[in-house]
Amino acid sequence: MIEKTNHQKTIYVFLLSIVTMFLVLACGTGPGGRDVPEWVVQRPAPDADSYYFVGSGVADIQPEAEDIASRALIGEIVRFIGVEISSETTATARSSLDSYEAELEEQVRQKGQAVVSGFTIADSYVVQKDDEVIVYLLGKYDRGRLESEQQRFQDIFQMKQDAVDVPAARGERLFEQGRFGQALPFLFEAAAAAQVSSIENAEIKFDRSTSIARQIIESLAIEPQVLQVQVDLNTQLPEPIGIRVYATRQGTRFPVSDLPFQVTYRELRNQRMVVRTARLLSDEDGFVYFDLPPTNYSGKQEIVFRLDLYSAIEPLREGGDRYMSRVDALEEAASSVSVSIPLISVSGARSRSTVVLAADIDQTGAVIDGQSTAQGILAELTSAEFSLVEYAMPVDRLAGMSNSELLALMRSENENKPEQAIERVI
């Protein structure tokens, strides 16, 4: 029993020695016998004039420990400011914070050089312990200066939240007011910002904005103001071609302004058919009017009015596969809002008797048997609703004739007295 008691006393004394040794080490002295500063153990509370920050670093050599301590000190300041960098942070905010941190680091390294206004390294403490070096740094920051920086960065980083919330709120407000055409650009802007943002509930905000946009698009209907247009070749239409755009909401039908439309039509350029486009907005009464240029070829075509949201929807694809199905649904809904109006361009030649001479020739220019060229021309003229009268004449009789000579010959042999002859190759 006595041995057990002595053993317990021995253990107690040994443990007491360990605690005592630890306390001595923790409260030991640094180089030159300096006592451990109080700020190393407990960071100073802010006073009326300044805030205080402490950073520490441990490494094999002092310069490396100082670098670690510097980064820790700067991290404490940034945490106080209350901003966080992520991969989606705006370039402006990231650049501003990077620049600020670089200036703080320069200030720490130069110890006293006024790089960041109001900030200084007030003290440092180094402990050599076994094979390691521990460096402590005390930073002192003027209260007014630091609070100004804090407000500046919060304003900059608030832009990330505002980039989503501000256009979303405005778009939803316009939607509730029934101003659909004006609401769409804000809804798309909010969705584009949300899909690349790190803000809380970013995907939910994307879904909300795109859902309202799709609801608007699917409510749209187009009424053409004419069912078909007929115009003489190379003649300006007396009035523009028009459509009217409506939306239906809760059983009420109303015109929609400020919607972008693309109009497509065709014209002949250098003997080739090309597609032309024009971009127009619906007016306050929902009308979209298009002044068609004079057509330069006879025949039929379609004048197509199509809701043009490509430039607004395409940026939403930058969010990747995660959002793709929702973007595809938007695009499909937009592409269905279109209407085609038939246009017939009538040649004045149909009311004038015209001589057309056609013959097939070989590579040397010699006339060959066959009527494939003539039959092709006849088919085109028939489809254009010309009335045709065919004449068969020996080619050798016609070869070398000018248009005027050909016209004179046909007038002498035709009671209908043709008015013109067209260029031909013999």
pLDDT at 359: 66
With respect to residue 191, please indicate whether it lies within any of the assigned structural domains.
no
* The two structure tokens encoding residue 107: 């200030």
With respect to residue 261, please indicate whether it lies within any of the assigned structural domains.
yes
Predicted TM-score (pTM) above 0.75: no
With respect to residue 162, please indicate whether it lies within any of the assigned structural domains.
yes
Same domain for 27 and 102, yes or no, is no
With respect to residue 197, please indicate whether it lies within any of the assigned structural domains.
no
Same domain for 48 and 163, yes or no, is yes
CATH number, domain of 327, equals 2.60.40.10
Same domain for 413 and 401, yes or no, is yes
Instruction: Give the C-alpha separation, 313 to 403, whole Å.
Output: 57
Same domain for 129 and 252, yes or no, is no
Same domain for 340 and 267, yes or no, is yes
Same domain for 148 and 53, yes or no, is yes
**DSSP for 33-81, written as a single string:** GPBPPHHHHSPPPP-SSEEEEEEEEEESSHHHHHHHHHHHHHHHHHHHH
Neighbouring-strand partners of residue 54 = 138
Q: With beta carbons less than 8 A apart as the criterion, state whether 119 and 106 touch.
A: no
Among residues 309, 331, 346, the one where a domain terminates is 346
pLDDT at 15: 32
Same domain for 225 and 341, yes or no, is yes
Among residues 346, 361, 376, the one where a domain terminates is 346
Same domain for 59 and 25, yes or no, is no
pLDDT at 296: 81
With respect to residue 185, please indicate whether it lies within any of the assigned structural domains.
no
* Ordered per-residue pLDDT tens for the chain, 426 residues: 333 444 333 333 333 333 333 333 333 445 555 789 999 999 999 999 999 999 999 999 999 999 899 889 888 887 887 655 443 444 445 555 567 667 666 656 654 444 467 788 889 999 988 889 999 999 888 888 888 887 777 766 666 677 788 899 999 999 999 999 999 999 999 998 888 776 667 788 899 999 999 999 999 999 999 999 888 888 888 899 999 999 999 899 999 999 999 999 998 888 788 999 999 999 999 999 999 998 887 788 999 999 999 999 998 988 778 888 899 999 999 999 999 999 988 776 556 666 666 666 667 666 666 667 777 777 777 776 666 666 666 666 666 667 677 667 766 766 665 555 454 444
Same domain for 54 and 5, yes or no, is no
pLDDT at 52: 94
* The two structure tokens encoding residue 178: 């029934």
Same domain for 330 and 384, yes or no, is no
Among residues 311, 346, 381, the one where a domain terminates is 346
pLDDT at 353: 60
Q: With beta carbons less than 8 A apart as the criterion, state whether 216 and 248 touch.
A: no
292 DSSP assignment: P
Instruction: Give the C-alpha separation, 368 to 357, whole Å.
Output: 15
Same domain for 124 and 140, yes or no, is yes
Into how many domains does the chain fold?
A: 4
The parent domain of residue 113 ranges over 42-176
Same domain for 118 and 30, yes or no, is no
Instruction: Give the C-alpha separation, 119 to 149, whole Å.
Output: 11
With respect to residue 192, please indicate whether it lies within any of the assigned structural domains.
no
Burial 126-145 (b: 16+ CB within 10 A, else e): bbeeeeebbbbbbbbbbeee
With respect to residue 209, please indicate whether it lies within any of the assigned structural domains.
no
Q: With beta carbons less than 8 A apart as the criterion, state whether 119 and 100 touch.
A: no
Q: With beta carbons less than 8 A apart as the criterion, state whether 54 and 123 touch.
A: no
With respect to residue 213, please indicate whether it lies within any of the assigned structural domains.
no
